[in-house]
Amino acid sequence: MSDNIEEILINTIDIKLDQFLKWAELVSTGGEAKQLITSGQVKVNGSLETRRGRRLQDGDVVEVKNKGRYKVSRTL
């Protein structure tokens, strides 16, 4: 996997992990997001994250197995 990090812009103070996965178009439904997260395929800031309600903030890095790394960037 590449070391490149794709920046994903959000226009809120924070965003839930499952919502972020949909916003970044990594999944198309909330059910897909839940399955991805609960199956241990998502890391936040280098640590495995299994809570789909985890709140992400500006600067957090989300890594999705076989998809890449994504940095949360707030536009406010």
Domain edges within the chain: 5-74
* Cα–Cα dist 36/26, whole Å: 10
Q: What is the pLDDT of residue 1?
A: 44
List % helix, strand, coil for the chain (3-state, nearest 5).
Answer: 20, 35, 40
Positions in the chain short of pLDDT 70: 1-3, 76
State whether residue 52 is helix, strand or coil.
coil
CATH topology of domain 5-74: 3.10.290
Cβ partners under 8 Å of residue 35, min gap 6: none
Classify the C-alpha dihedral 40-42-48-52 as positive or negative: negative
Q: What is the pLDDT of residue 26?
A: 97
